[in-house]
Amino acid sequence: MDGECAGGGRGAGPGGGESGGDARRSRMAILAKARLNELEAACADLDAWPAYRLVRPPETGAVMVRGRISGSGAPFSFGEITVTRCTIALDDATSGATVTGTAYIAGTSTRHAELAAVFDALFQLPGEQGHALAHRITAPLAAAQAKRRRDAARAVAATQVHFFTMARGD
Amino acid sequence: MYVAVKGGTRAIDQAHRLLAKARRGDPAVPELGLDQIDHQLGLAVDRVMAEGSLYDRRLAALAIKQAAGDLVEAIFLLRAFRTTLVRFGASVPIDTAAMAVDRRISAAFKDLPGGQLLGATFDYTHRLLDFALAATAPSATERPDQAETPTGGAAAEPLSRVADLLGRDGLIEAAPAPGAAEVGDLTRDPLALPAGRDLRLQALARADEGFLLGLAYSTQRGFGASHPFAGEIRRGTVEVEFEPEELGFPVVIGEIAVTEVDMINQYAGSAETPPQFTRGYGLTFGHGERKAIAMALVDRALRARELGEPVTAPAQDEEFVLIHGDAVEASGFVQHLKLPHYVDFQAELDLLRRLRRDWPATPHGDPVGDPEMAVP
């Protein structure tokens, strides 16, 4: 599945079960890799845009991307990437609980980070509502990402070399 | 004596206005958009991100526009911007084995698992100017085929590495295991020599492509020869994961395009190690195959001391390579010669006059020092 994180096993986060944390990671990856216009469309798909507080307003910074020597060896500092982060909080009307949503998104789009943080919070709403919403919103985003990746891979596959050997003499 | 000279302010201001005008060019020609630079001059964007050492396509495109296409100037702009950013931390190391490849070739093995995938490449083009591209009307390009079965990472399992095939028989050295030491970062601590391989690779990844290309070429021509084969060149996208403190687990923040080169080199072995292939590694942001190959050659050359080889050539000399390879530093120091050196030069002139006056009575006068070092 496209949205799954490679190289997992670092453990799920606190506040959720093992599978709950992994599900959140997977959804956050989908939100990060979504295009901004797709997220805007997903907003329009909600019944109502929730009221929320900015715990940490969108802020752009950098993360040092690390590589590994020869691809699999000791890590090294490869180069930085711009990242925009945002944290929001919203109150669940039914349970009264406060849910925190967080986003770290490559690039400088404060809008992308804020929308992703809001969705991250909405998806964590207790009970069935968060779960159902997560599925409804992320499934088409993940499908679009998988399709983009598949289409690109099919175009590359057409450039695969098929060697053949000419028999010479008798 | 130090004489402050003023009076340039107005001239500088006008020069900047003239620069803006020159950058824009003929106003009758439509202005370039950042999207156009990103999508139609994408390899320039890649180079600016790689040497600017900051992955952000939009900002790199802006830098190229502002620099009127002077890529070294654009790299400088991106580096300067980078210093304004808060550092959130370091990513989980990227996993290039899981790359969604858009190109993957090996010059060492013909029939490698997953096959040779050419992808979009200038290789095998005839290097003839295509006048169809000069037409202003949209040119009719042939649509590339789509294969039935996707490959290259979108398939269920990622492509195996060439080095892993050789590694099974112990024919090639293993990638160095992570040590206990903290990962070096020359943007945090000044580069000290001798540098570990982590810092060398960081410096090479940021280094000027032309400088590395020339050095790599010199190793092929015999200045520290290392008999390389392109074991594997792969290019594509990888996810970047970062673990925010407040979450306590890593999250994907996005995807980046990278080019990776695993170069295979001869090695005769030593008392401890049987003969086996050694490796040089190249990694760049974006599509940077030429740079990544050059980087892998120079990385291997810089391992001379570690592998007990004689250090005889410039490409094997850590100080020579690492201190002189950065385009921003090099262009800064070379170009500072444009700045006023009036007082220094006056001192030189006086000295020369004195020498001439005394000549030929004392033919061996004091050697003339570096004007930089001479305090007026």
Q: Which of B84, B249, B255, B295 to mutate to test the interface with A (most CBs of A within 10 A)?
A: B249
What is chain A's percent helix, strand, coil content, to nearest 5? Answer: 45, 25, 30
Cross-chain residue pair B239–A5, CB shorter than 8 Å: yes
State the average pLDDT for chain A: 87
Q: How many CA atoms lie less than 13 Å away from B163 in the CB half-sphere?
A: 27
pLDDT score of B139:
58
- Which pLDDT does position B366 carry in this prediction? 54
Instruction: Give the least confident one: A125-134, B95-104, B311-320, B349-358.
Output: A125-134
Coil/strand/helix, residue B240: strand
What tokens appear for B295 in the block? 């980087």
Measure A141 CA to nearest chain B CA, in Å: 14
Q: Do residue A5 and residue B241 have CB atoms under 8 angstroms apart?
A: yes
Residue written as token pair 């010199």: B218
pLDDT for B95 beyond 90 = yes
More confident residue, B372 or A106: A106
Sequence ranges of the domains in chain B:
16-82, 96-121+152-174+187-331
Would you place residue A1 in the very low, low, confident or very high pLDDT band (cuts 50, 70, 90)? Answer: very low
Cβ distance of B175 and A74 shorter than 8 Å: yes
Q: Over chain B, what is the mean pLDDT? A: 90
Query: How many pairs of residues across A and B have Cβ atoms under 8 Å apart?
Result: 270
* Chain A CB contacts of B103 below 8 Å: 156, 159
Provide the pLDDT confidence category of residue B85 given band limits of 50, 70 and 90: very high
pLDDT at B157: 61
The DSSP call for residue B316 is: G
| B254 min Cα distance to partner chain A (Å) | 5
Q: How much is the pLDDT for A38?
A: 97
Task: Mention every residue, 6+ apart, whose C-beta is less than 8 A from residue A94.
Answer: A126, A127, A129
Q: Is the pLDDT of residue B136 over 80?
A: no
> Which of A71, A85, A107 lies nearest to residue B254, judging by beta carbons?
A107
Q: What is the pLDDT of residue B1?
A: 53
Identify which has the larger pLDDT, B237 or B149: B237
Question: Other CB atoms closer than 10 Å to residue B37's CB: what's the count?
Answer: 22
* Least confident interval from B2-6, B335-339, B363-367: B363-367
The two tokens of residue B174 are 């293993």
Poorest-pLDDT segment among A63-67, B54-58, B153-157: B153-157
The pLDDT of residue B109: 87
| More confident site: B164 or B301 | B301
Q: Can you give the pLDDT at residue B3?
A: 59
Q: Is B252 within 8 Å of A11 when comparing Cβ atoms? A: no
Closest residue on chain A to B94 (Cα): A67
Q: How confident is the model at residue B159 (pLDDT cuts 50, 70, 90)?
A: confident
Residue pair B200/B322 in contact by the 8 Å Cβ criterion? yes
Q: Which chain B residue's Cα is nearest to A147?
A: B154
The pLDDT, as a whole number, for residue B21 is 96
Please list every residue in chain A whose beta carbon sits closer than 8 Å to the beta carbon of residue B85. 60-62, 80, 82
Question: A152 phi and psi, to 5 degrees?
Answer: -65, -40
- CB–CB contact A33 B152 (8 Å): no
pLDDT tens sequence across B227-256 = 899 999 999 999 999 999 999 999 999 999
Which chain A residues touch B96 with a CB distance below 8 Å?
A: 67-68, 71
Q: How far from chain centre, in Å, is Cα B278?
A: 22
Q: Quick one: pLDDT at residue A12?
A: 35
Amino acid identity of A27?
R
**pLDDT > 90: percent of chain B:** 71
ipTM of predicted assembly, 2 dp: 0.90
Most confident segment among A161-165, B77-81, B112-116? B77-81
Rounded Cα–Cα distance for residues A140 and A70 (Å): 36
**Is the pLDDT reported for residue B5 higher than 80?**
no
Confidence of residue B363 (pLDDT cuts 50, 70, 90): low
- Give the pLDDT mean for A59-69: 98
Q: Which of A129-138, A141-150, B18-27, B158-167 has the lowest mean pLDDT?
A: B158-167
Residue B256: list chain A partners with CB under 8 A: 65, 81, 106
Cα distance between residue B253 and residue A81, in whole Å:
10
Which residues touch A149 (CB under 8 Å, ≥6 apart)?
Answer: A2, B100, B154
Q: Is residue B226 scored above 80 in pLDDT?
A: no
Q: How crowded is the C-beta side of A44, counted as CA atoms within 13 Å? A: 6
**Residue A56 CB burial class (10 angstroms; 0-12, 13-18, ≥19):** middle
DSSP track, B28-67: TSPPPPHHHHHHHSHHHHHHHHHHHTEE-HHHHHHHHHHT
Instruction: Spell out where chain B has E strands.
Output: 54-55, 86-92, 100-105, 228-242, 251-265, 278-285
* Mean pLDDT of the region B309-319: 95
| Lowest-pLDDT choice from A35-49, B78-92, B160-174, B320-334 | B160-174
Q: What is the mean pLDDT of residues B257-278?
A: 89
Of B49, B117, B251, the CB nearest to A156: B117
Residue B201: name the closest of B191, B189, B214 by CA.
B191
Cβ distance of B253 and A104 shorter than 8 Å: yes
What integer pLDDT is reported at residue A4 of this predicted model?
35
- Summarised one tens digit per residue, pLDDT across range B21-31 is 999 999 999 99
Provide φ and ψ at A69, rounded to 5°. Answer: -60, 130
Closest CA to B152 of A3, A69, A68, A151: A151
| Residues in B 48-107 with any Cβ partner in A closer than 8 A | 49-50, 53-56, 58-59, 82, 85-98, 100-103
